Amino acid sequence: MRIVPRVLGVAIAAALIASPALATELTGTLKKIKESGSITLGHRDASIPFSYFGDNPQQPVGYSHDLQLKVVEALKQELNLPELKVRYNLVTSQTRIPLVQNGTVDLECGSTTNNVERQQQVDFSVGIFEVGTRLLAKKSAGVSDFADLKGKNVVTTAGTTSERLLKIMNAEQQMGMNIISAKDHGESFLMLESGRALAFMMDDALLYGEMAKAKNPNDWAVVGTPQSFEIYGCVVRKGDPAFKQVVDRAISATYQSGEISAIYDKWFMQAIPPKGLNLEFPMSDELKKLIASPTDKAAEQI
């Protein structure tokens, strides 16, 4: 049967409306995903409870990972790819940004701070979490704030904003700290737990995650005046507004629907793998504001 031109035009218009991303020619990451039928997600192995390996050493889990999967679901609809394949690529604090830049990873959602310096290299989604940088120490160590660390061994994770802040503090205040930069959060906590460092500086939510892994969690405390307030975002390649728009829209929709409350409670207020411990970390007022008014600005830009 021959389709008359007017009917054909209506059919094409309807198809374009049903798939907004296909209404215009695809470019950048969206084109890459559409043509390959797959997306590569960057994930961490020990950023509890944001992105890490739980009971299955091959399957990342976590708060940020759940939001990442919301983006995948949005892409399936946006690109009409119900069978979109998800590939995983392990990243570290040092490799996460380069791997997004060079195209190895399409989207990284973990515990990556959005700051002005990094905005020169990559783009960030709307914020997914807000933290303060503090200290984890044994309750018996006599550490209540950063001033107690003069001349002491302090560990942090290489490639993080905490490492930069700690080095600046050490130089400007002449504290004489011996700063140990571990390869990841797990190694940082191991150095702390084994006594090779008196305190571990990192984002407070991550410190609660490490404390939950301890042999005796009640022996530890998160202390100290926050040295910065930071917003985490998902990382995408710079100068790819069409893909970033899909990512932002998927995350914002999760906020607007109220689904974010269940996701938050799942990872911060309930027992989580692998040990079934509860971080008991209530949602902060700062995060509530971020969810109510999503922004892709860094904390220092707000």
pLDDT tens track for 218-241: 999 999 999 999 999 999 999 999
User: Can you give the residue ranges of every domain in the chain?
Assistant: 24-130+231-301, 132-229
Q: Which fold has domain 24-130+231-301?
A: D-Maltodextrin-Binding Protein; domain 2 (3.40.190)
Written as tens digits, the pLDDT of the chain (302 aa) is 333 343 334 343 444 444 444 457 999 999 999 999 999 999 999 999 999 999 998 899 999 999 999 999 999 999 999 999 999 999 999 999 999 999 999 999 999 999 999 999 999 999 999 999 999 999 999 999 999 999 999 999 999 999 999 999 999 999 999 999 999 999 999 999 999 999 999 999 999 999 888 889 899 999 999 999 999 999 999 999 999 999 999 999 999 999 999 999 999 999 999 889 899 999 999 999 999 999 999 999 98
* Correct CATH for 132-229 of 3.40.190.10, 3.40.50.2300, 3.30.499.10, 3.40.50.300: 3.40.190.10
Q: What does the DSSP assignment read for the chain?
A: -PPPHHHHHHHHHHHHHH-GGGSS---HHHHHHHHHTEEEEEE-SEETTTEEE-SSTTSEESHHHHHHHHHHHHHHHHTT-TT-EEEEEE--TTTHHHHHHTTS-SEE-SS-B--HHHHTT-EEEEEEEEEEEEEEEEGGGT-SSGGGGTTSEEEEETTSHHHHHHHHHHHHTT---EEEEESSHHHHHHHHHTTS-SEEEEEHHHHHHHHHHSSSGGGEEEES--S-EEEEEEEE-TT-HHHHHHHHHHHHHHHHHTHHHHHHHHHHSSEETTTTEE---PPPHHHHHHHHS---S-GGG-
Instruction: Summarize pLDDT for 150-185 with one digit per residue, the tens.
Output: 999 999 999 999 999 999 999 999 999 999 999 999
